[in-house]
Amino acid sequence: MDGNAVKTSISISSLGKVFRKGKKEIVALRGFDLDVKDGEFVCLLGPSGCGKTTVLRIIAGLEDKTSGSVKLNGREISFAGSDRGMVFQEFALFPWRTVRKNIEFGLEVKRIPEGNRAAISQKYIDLVGLTGFEDAHPTELSGGMKQRVGIARALANEPEVLLMDEPFGALDAQTRNLMQKELLRIWAATNKTILFVTHSVDEAVFLADRIVVMTARPGKVRETIDVGLARPRDRTSQEFIRVRGKVLTELDEEFEKARAKELSPD
């Protein structure tokens, strides 16, 4: 490795995961390798059931790996911890807590004194654009605003990486586009490493530095595509459409494989 190379944040090698359902064994991942550089925005893309969420959950420590190694800044990860923040598709906000109290949850369980908590939560409330909604409860918020809380809550812990599991999957198209722009703004402001799972090619090309296309089950990396487009990206530009086409071609083959597997009897 040469001296001025960017530090590797997440390093995954020959990761394997087998789910057991009674006597049945389902190989979800086999030989999955991926390095994510510090500050990089990587999208994981693949047909449904390819194990992209499983990869994320293993990094987060919510799921045990069967084989292989997952390192975060050189340390092998084990249990879930506040060094890896996660944003969920279902928002997963605590309904009995206000926006501020949701964002302070991680600080609270770390026993950070109340005064410091308020300062930190205010910083992230302002960053994600929730100023004025501090005392609202999740039921009073729209989907987009709920996910802003989800992002702020993960960031307030100052994690080394941000893991996002189809975070905008439950939002309508307009909100989704807006939230993608907002996420890029937040990313630029915090320099976080982001690993983002999606099944939308458009979303991946709009957001990512690099797109990792996974194979159908058992999931591994099929192809890594450097997007290489300047930001802000224009969805209607020639280059955007070209990259999109390239990713779609890769993905379509895997979709076909996944479909064939679904139709064939075991």
Partner 1 sequence: MKDVTQALLRLIQSNWRRVALGLLSMAVFLTLWSLYAAWLRAEWPFQGTPSGAWEYVPYPWEVLEAFYLSFWSHPVSGLYMGSHVYASLKRIVAGFVLAFALAVPAGLLMGRLWTAESIGKPVVELFRPIPPLAWIPIFLVVFGITWGPIGIVFLGVFFPILLNVQLGARSVDPTLIDAARTLGTRKMDIFLKVVLPSTVPYLITGVTVGLGIGWMCIVAAEMLGAVGGGVGYFIFTAAGNSQYPYMYAGMLMIGILSILTTGVAGLLERRLSKWMGMR
Residues that bind partner 1 (CB under 8 A): 60-62, 80-82, 84-86, 88, 90, 92-98, 105-106, 108-110, 137-140, 153-154, 157, 163
In terms of CB distance, is 19 or 105 closer to partner 1? 105
CB environment 31-70: b (16+ within 10 A), e (fewer): ebebebbeebbbbbbbbebbbbbbbbbbbbbbbebbebeb
In terms of CB distance, is 134 or 209 closer to partner 1? 134
**Nearest approach, Cβ of residue 79 and partner 1 (Å):** 8
**Nearest approach, Cβ of residue 136 and partner 1 (Å):** 8
Backbone angles phi, psi at 126, to 5 degrees: -65, -40
In terms of CB distance, is 168 or 206 closer to partner 1? 168
**Nearest approach, Cβ of residue 178 and partner 1 (Å):** 23
195 vs 79: CA distance, rounded Å:
18
**Nearest approach, Cβ of residue 55 and partner 1 (Å):** 15
Do 43 and 202 touch, CB atoms closer than 8 A? no
**Nearest approach, Cβ of residue 219 and partner 1 (Å):** 20
Pairing between β-strand 161-165 and β-strand 84-87 as defined by DSSP bridges:
parallel
In terms of CB distance, is 79 or 115 closer to partner 1? 79
Beta bridge partners of residue 37, listed in sequence order: 8
Q: Exposed, middle or buried, 150 (CB in 10 Å: 0-12/13-18/19+)?
A: buried
Pairing between β-strand 221-226 and β-strand 41-45 as defined by DSSP bridges:
unpaired
In terms of CB distance, is 5 or 96 closer to partner 1? 96
